[in-house]
Amino acid sequence: MIDSSSNSREVAGAGSARRLVNSLPFSRRSFLSKTSYFGAFYAAAKLIPLPALAAELAGDSRVSQTPIVDKGFASVRKVGEGLYATISDPSKGFQTVCNGGFLAGKDAALLIEGFISVAGAAFQMDALRMVSQVPVKGALDTHYHFDHSMGNAFFGANGIPLWAHANTPKRIVESYGALQGADKAAFLSPLEKSIKEAKTETARKHREDYLAHVTNVFNVANSTVLALPNRPIDPSKLPMKVDLGGITAVIESYPGHSGTDVIVRVPEQNVVYAGDLLFSNMYPVCFDTQCTVSGWRQTLKTFASWNKDTIFVPGHGPICGQEGIALLRALFDDIEEQAQKMHKAGVPAEEAADLYQVPEKYKNVAIFAWDFSIGPTITKLYAEWGAK
Ligand SMILES: [Zn+2]
């Protein structure tokens, strides 16, 4: 499964480390519960506790105010008939890191996300078994990023079919298989160099934060036995309906975050499991080589056109309604507006990427590491304009 021969040696070489780093997925604020990994990380991250629920949904009778289980690192609550959301709080532990959920119909259940660890995937399975004993028809990774897929081995060990976008297995192997057994010092050295070469204090901080996160990706990939989805979803054959008995889930694919993004909708109940196409109360994470700003904004426009009472379970951040979509769109607009001004003033892309100013009104919007989120959003916008 893992090609540890020529490919991994080649990408692990210092010369191509930058290319690999550019294709690395992010984690949100952190990762596993292996504390020894997190020395540099703790120094760099803002580990703020997060609410599981946006204030706008506090009075919504469809959403249970009390979780069925709350382990700190994640809680699970009802968001519809047979529909549950798993919401992570990485400030309290790294077992899950991303959000997920499950759908429990009369005949079968569908689990969403492999999370960042087997412990995280097992936690969600236990939560399902608290409310339903129906057989599990399958699990689904919304995309290949490691915080959504490193717990996939749980499904393999339990004989649960694992669905994902057809390109997900390949990208897991390319991105994380390639890190396994690689020379850590050689891999990280270009990032250490970029810290030394930073021309401003802001740039230096952004590069340090990036190094801390990339180091964690490396450590997580090296401590994980990779498991690949075995039910590829061909995006050209979507939407696909999955009948769970009284609940019809619809799997759809949209461009934007990773090139492998699929969502699960339950149109009859206006509930959407959006994966990382939705960061709730967070700046978008745009580092992926296949992330497209224009595609993502088009996707958000589509989400905004859906029922005004839609409940969204985001890939990260609190459960929200349409206001969460509106905020993410506004954040893209603001980044574009500032980037355009810089472009017109002759600021090159690489410099502009460090110069965005968070407006006062967005000061409580979380930023995952700058170089995974705002920085690449700006350089991708420049690229879309054909600018450098
Ligand atoms: Zn992601």
How far is the centre of ligand 1, averaged over its atoms, from the C-alpha of 316 (Å)? 9
> How many other C-beta atoms lie within 10 A of the C-beta of residue 93?
18
How far is the centre of ligand 1, averaged over its atoms, from the C-alpha of 198 (Å)? 27
How far is the centre of ligand 1, averaged over its atoms, from the C-alpha of 237 (Å)? 23
- Over residues 146-177, the pLDDT tens digits come to 999 999 999 999 999 999 999 999 999 999 99
How far is the centre of ligand 1, averaged over its atoms, from the C-alpha of 169 (Å)? 15
How far is the centre of ligand 1, averaged over its atoms, from the C-alpha of 204 (Å)? 25
Which whole number is the average pLDDT over 238-260? 98
- Over residues 104-143, the pLDDT tens digits come to 999 999 999 999 999 999 999 999 999 999 999 999 999 9
Residue 345 clears pLDDT 80, i.e. is over it:
yes
How far is the centre of ligand 1, averaged over its atoms, from the C-alpha of 313 (Å)? 14
Structure confidence at residue 307 (pLDDT): 98
Residue 62 clears pLDDT 80, i.e. is over it:
yes
Quote the CA–CA distance of 313 and 84 in Å, as a whole number.
9
How far is the centre of ligand 1, averaged over its atoms, from the C-alpha of 60 (Å)? 28
Q: Which position has the token pair 């978008």?
A: 284
Confidence category of residue 49, pLDDT binned at 50, 70, 90? low
Quote the CA–CA distance of 67 and 85 in Å, as a whole number.
9
How far is the centre of ligand 1, averaged over its atoms, from the C-alpha of 27 (Å)? 7
How far is the centre of ligand 1, averaged over its atoms, from the C-alpha of 164 (Å)? 13
Q: Any residues with CB less than 8 A from the CB of 250 and at least 6 apart, and which? A: 239, 240, 241, 242, 264, 265, 266, 267
Please name every residue paired with 360 in a beta bridge, in sequence order, or none if there are none.
none
User: Using an 8 Å Cβ cutoff, are 65 and 53 in contact?
Assistant: yes
Structure confidence at residue 48 (pLDDT): 58
How far is the centre of ligand 1, averaged over its atoms, from the C-alpha of 276 (Å)? 5
Nearest to 254 by CA among 283, 225, 271, 233: 233
How far is the centre of ligand 1, averaged over its atoms, from the C-alpha of 146 (Å)? 8
How far is the centre of ligand 1, averaged over its atoms, from the C-alpha of 344 (Å)? 31
- Over residues 3-44, the pLDDT tens digits come to 333 333 333 333 334 434 444 443 333 333 333 343 334 333
Specify the pTM.
Answer: 0.89
How far is the centre of ligand 1, averaged over its atoms, from the C-alpha of 300 (Å)? 16
How far is the centre of ligand 1, averaged over its atoms, from the C-alpha of 246 (Å)? 30
How far is the centre of ligand 1, averaged over its atoms, from the C-alpha of 61 (Å)? 30
How far is the centre of ligand 1, averaged over its atoms, from the C-alpha of 25 (Å)? 7
Nearest to 224 by CA among 122, 119, 143: 119
Which whole number is the average pLDDT over 332-348? 98
How far is the centre of ligand 1, averaged over its atoms, from the C-alpha of 346 (Å)? 32
How far is the centre of ligand 1, averaged over its atoms, from the C-alpha of 367 (Å)? 14
How far is the centre of ligand 1, averaged over its atoms, from the C-alpha of 22 (Å)? 14
Residue 378, H or E segment: helix 374-384
Quote the CA–CA distance of 380 and 259 in Å, as a whole number.
15
Q: Any residues with CB less than 8 A from the CB of 79 and at least 6 apart, and which? A: 62, 63, 64, 85, 101, 271, 311, 313, 319
| Least trusted range by pLDDT, from 49-63, 282-296, 328-342, 345-359 | 49-63
Structure confidence at residue 344 (pLDDT): 97
DSSP symbols for 74-120: EEEEEEETTEEEEEE-GGG-SSS-S-EEEEE-SS-EEEE--BSSHHH
Structure confidence at residue 36 (pLDDT): 35
How far is the centre of ligand 1, averaged over its atoms, from the C-alpha of 106 (Å)? 31
Quote the CA–CA distance of 378 and 277 in Å, as a whole number.
18
Nearest to 52 by CA among 32, 33, 73, 31: 73
DSSP symbols for 216-242: HHHHHHHT------SEEE-GGG-SEEE
| Least trusted range by pLDDT, from 57-71, 284-298, 322-336 | 57-71
Nearest to 233 by CA among 169, 314, 153, 276: 169
Spatial strand order in the sheet of 69-70? 69-70, 74-80, 83-88, 100-104, 109-112, 136-140, 162-165, 231-233
DSSP symbols for 115-184: BSSHHHHHHHHHHHHHH--PPEEEEE-SS--HHHHTTTHHHHHTT--EEEETTHHHHHHHHTGGGTT--H
How far is the centre of ligand 1, averaged over its atoms, from the C-alpha of 143 (Å)? 7
How far is the centre of ligand 1, averaged over its atoms, from the C-alpha of 371 (Å)? 14
